[in-house]
Amino acid sequence: MSAQTLYSGPGRVVHSNGSGPTLFAFHADGENGQVKLSIAEKRTARQTATYGYHRSTLDDQMAEITFSPFDMWSLLPVLFPAFLGVSVGATTGALAIGTRPHDVAAGSVNGNAPTKIWTPDGRLYNVVRTAVTGHPSLKLGVGQPLYDSVKITGLLDASMFPGDSGALIAGNAITETGGTNPDTAGFVPDFINGHWTGAWGAITGFTAMEVEDFWTVSVNAKYSALTVQKLTRHMKLDSVEFMVKGRLAGPTHTQLAAKVLAHTLGGTIGEGSATDLVLTGPSSKTITLKDCEVFLENQGFEFGGTKLGTGEVAFVTKVDFSGTPSIPGAALIFSA
């Protein structure tokens, strides 16, 4: 009886992005942090009236890589690309609905931007055409992991079909031994964790806010698949919404209620361009949510128990058309 091959151990995710290309190395968060690579197939069940189910035929094939990365601030440019309306350091964001992330990631139309998973025992999994399509929420607070789960989607090579060599996985095979570590720079810690405060414009009561547990920065980005005869050839960006939430300590209940109860039926909800929410954290890092309004998000004021008496409060952006010519600017800004 031949020895079984048992697979175990960590994996390092390296994503190629843009010209050059720029390599972003991800390390799964936690001592037993998990990275999952799945190959999803869509099929059509073929049936006959006489015998029922007969067999299946293949319609589409995709790959998904999911994991929660370690707290590396330097990963922000690939996790939140400029076309989402996100600025990171010197890179200025501008919302571009209809953008195809797999083309942007490749640095050229229909180019390929691979994502590789490498394990210390020499295995290498090379997905040939990928982009980040599941953007993580951020947790800002003491002892909190910075990132929630990330999803990288792998589509078939734009000129290939399922079954073609290298259409989804390079060579249609996994390198079982002797794979080369694609992370040429090695692990360079860029660790961000600690105490964060918030200031919403210069509004009384909202300029020195803290939260009971942690701030949550979330992005709701929606993509849709562009298919040709059921094969997913591209994905395009449909919409984006940014939100910051937390159980606030700072404004009084009177101040919170006054802001919420000022909302009028059918009226635009917004405080104006001077009411950016600026979160300030360790190493002078800042995160700015532009032109936002406050909501109680089906929460409110609480009485009793051991929690603070303010429920979860949400700050939500609106689209700013101050660019020229009327191009939406950045709604979310990360400092360098």
Q: What is the pLDDT of residue 3?
A: 82
Tokens of 224: 């849709």
Q: What is the pLDDT of residue 107?
A: 64
Q: What is the pLDDT of residue 172?
A: 94
Q: What is the pLDDT of residue 109?
A: 54
Q: What is the pLDDT of residue 318?
A: 82
| Sequence-distant (≥ 6) Cβ neighbours of residue 217 within 8 angstroms | 137, 138, 140, 242, 243, 244, 279, 287, 289, 332
- Residue 165 CA to residue 264 CA, distance in Å, equals 59
Q: What is the pLDDT of residue 145?
A: 94
| Sequence-distant (≥ 6) Cβ neighbours of residue 38 within 8 angstroms | 63, 64, 66
Tens place of pLDDT per residue across the chain (336 aa):
678 888 999 999 999 987 678 899 999 999 899 999 999 999 999 999 999 998 999 999 999 999 999 999 999 999 999 999 999 999 999 999 999 999 887 666 556 899 999 999 999 999 999 999 999 999 999 999 999 999 999 999 988 999 999 999 999 999 999 999 999 888 888 888 999 999 999 999 999 999 999 999 999 999 999 999 999 999 999 999 999 999 999 899 999 999 888 888 887 777 766 689 999 999 999 999 998 898 887 788 888 888 888 889 999 988 777 656 667 889 999 999
Q: What is the pLDDT of residue 110?
A: 58
User: In angstroms, how far apart are the furthest CA atoms of the chain?
Assistant: 76
Distance set, CA 116 to CA 34, 64, 65, 93, 283 (Å): 15, 12, 10, 27, 31
Q: What is the pLDDT of residue 283?
A: 92
- Residue 59 CA to residue 65 CA, distance in Å, equals 21
